[in-house]
Amino acid sequence: LFDNKGIGETDGQTPTTIAEMAQDTGTFIKALGLTQVDILGFSIGGMVAQELALQEGKLVRRIIMAGTSP
């Protein structure tokens, strides 16, 4: 599970846009050394997953979106 900056137990300033959240998510995934991932996004996480796919298309293999919007 991933918490963005300023959410849950993480430090830092919370991103103010979905695009910034997706960028942080991509940075986190790459820091783990992963080259392709499947993502489950719930609520805002679904919007972040969609944006991540737009920003880092080769990084995202599959997305499951639950309780989210475009």
Residues in contact with 35: Cβ distance below 8 Å, sequence separation at least 6, in sequence order = 59
pLDDT of amino acid 1: 76
The answer to whether residue 62 sits within a structural domain is yes
pLDDT tens-digit profile of 38-67? 999 999 999 999 999 999 999 999 999 998
The pTM of the full predicted model, rounded to 2 decimals, is 0.86
The answer to whether residue 64 sits within a structural domain is yes
pLDDT tens-digit profile of 5-47? 888 888 888 899 999 999 999 999 999 999 999 999 999 999 9
The answer to whether residue 13 sits within a structural domain is no
Pull the structure tokens for residue 18.
């979905």
Query: By the 8 A CB rule, do 32 and 8 touch?
Result: no
Q: Percent of the chain at pLDDT above 70?
A: 100
Give the structural domain span for 39. Answer: 35-70
Burial track 24-59 (b if 16+ CB lie within 10 A, e otherwise): bbbeebeeeeeeebebebeeebbbbbbbbbeebeeb
The answer to whether residue 58 sits within a structural domain is yes
Residue 3 has pLDDT above 90, yes or no: no
The answer to whether residue 70 sits within a structural domain is yes
Calculate ∠ Cα 67-28-38, nearest 5°: 45
The answer to whether residue 7 sits within a structural domain is no
Count of domains forming the chain: 1
